Amino acid sequence: MIDLNQIHDFFDQCFDLHGETAQGVGWNSPEAQEIRFDQLLKVVQPGKPFTFIEYGCGYGHLLPYMRAQGLSPDHYYGIDILESSLAAAREQFADDPSASFHTALADVPVADYLSASGVFNVKLQHDNASWTRYVINSLDEFFSKTAKGFSVNFLTKYSDYDRMKQRPDLYYADPCFLFDYCKENLSRNVALLHDYEIYDFTLIVRK
């Protein structure tokens, strides 16, 4: 059984300490956060209108980053379990009719694309098997909630052994297992990106 209340409390503490920064949503630096954004946004086909869900949106930093890259969604739906970060996002984008922020994926319509950055990295006391089942169920939900595809990233099990041993609270995923799952159960069109400097990988699943 997955206890998301503990996950909520972890990120609530991060946001309380660091506010609207990369550290406030669990990343080490803005540079690492934006490296991940660049990989996730490869799911979007440029030059065509689209709608977009960010699952685990924090304070909504991805939206202005997307726009700076020339990707401007017709509507952006931010999803997060943390009310404090949602409140910050709603305040920041109060005058933007093309952005809205919500607490659950069920509260928004099907969109063209969905991205999820770092939402599975912190597992706390959960065992790997239970957390992997939670990941798989979430990937199924992401697929059903999109018309064109989704992107998601994970810490990789190919990280340094000593580093992983020091952080049993983190989930280091098997990229080959998740690639196979998506390929066999969701779509023929799956990309695995594992070549961008930091110790994680991105899956892109296109319909």
CATH code for the domain of 11: 3.40.50.150
- What's the confidence (pLDDT) of residue 28? 60
Q: What distance in Å separates the CA atoms of residue 147 and residue 187, rounded to the nearest whole number? A: 12
Q: What distance in Å separates the CA atoms of residue 32 and residue 197, rounded to the nearest whole number? A: 9
Find, among 154, 53, 186, 64, the residue nearest to 113 by Cα.
53
Q: Quote the tokens at residue 195.
A: 């070549």
- What's the confidence (pLDDT) of residue 94? 97
Question: What pTM does this model have?
Answer: 0.91
Give the chain's domain count.
1
Q: Which domain holds residue 199?
A: 4-206
- What's the confidence (pLDDT) of residue 32? 85
Residues in the chain with pLDDT values less than 70? 6-8, 10-29
Are 66 and 98 in contact by the 8 Å Cβ rule? The answer is no
Contacting residues for 117 by C-beta, under 8 A, at least 6 apart: 33, 36, 37, 40, 54, 56, 62, 152, 153
- What's the confidence (pLDDT) of residue 24? 45
